[in-house]
Amino acid sequence: MDAVGFTKFFGGAVKSAMVTYCPRERLTDEGYSDDRLFVDIDPAKLDLKQFALEVIPRYIEAFGGYRAEFYDEQFAEAAYEVREEPGRIVYSPKSKEHVNLRFQVREVMPISYFDELLCRRAFNLTPAEVVKRVHGKVEHAYLLNGGAYLVGSTRALPFEEAQSLSEEMTRTLLG
């Protein structure tokens, strides 16, 4: 068995981690019923290149994810109202427009993965077409586990630069 553990790899880089799990009998084709893995890291204490090119892909393959995003927390602060409730953190979109994360992509994050179905639903493209479209605009773009894995940069970017990269990637795929 091949496994990657958080603490052994990350050491002091992980600030917090949270897993959410939806009982299988309640699964729907809506993004809100998805299982989620959130990891808050300190990029100054992490080899981001290794994380982007080795660790994230292994988690995508291990969990069979349909979507993965790695981004600065300022992206979430710009898009969501965050409030703490007993035992959990609640993210409410600032936009009142309903977005089903299994069908739509509003913003392509600096490091993103989209499985084949999401590529077709969100971009009306195959994963190979997604990879081809962003080629030359990102550091790495390749097929992974039947989907498209996009790495805009393997460097920790200042937020403004990461936001600009995200906007360019989004325009390239969404028009």
Q: Percentage of the chain surpassing pLDDT 90?
A: 35
**3-state DSSP call for residue 46?**
coil
DSSP symbols for 2-16: ----HHHHHGGGEEE
Residues 65-83: tens digit of each pLDDT: 888 888 666 545 555 566 7
Higher per-residue confidence, 40 vs 7: 40
Can you give the residue ranges of every domain in the chain?
A: 6-63+73-174
pLDDT at 2: 39
Instruction: Return the amino acid letter for 108.
Output: V
Q: What is the mean pLDDT of residues 103-129?
A: 92
**3-state DSSP call for residue 82?**
strand
Residue with tokens 């992206």: 75
Region for residue 3 given its phi and psi (left: phi exceeds 0; alpha: psi -120 to 50; beta: otherwise) = beta
- Which range has highest mean pLDDT (10-14, 70-74, 152-156)? 152-156
Whether the predicted pLDDT of 170 surpasses 90: yes
Q: What is the reported pTM?
A: 0.76
Cβ-proximal residues to 38 (8 Å cutoff; 6+ apart), any chain: 16, 17, 18, 19, 20
- Which range has highest mean pLDDT (9-13, 36-40, 153-157)? 153-157
pLDDT at 65: 81
CB neighbour burial string for 121-158, b if at least 16 within 10 angstroms, e if fewer: bbbebebeebbebbeeebbbbeebbebbbbbbbbeebe
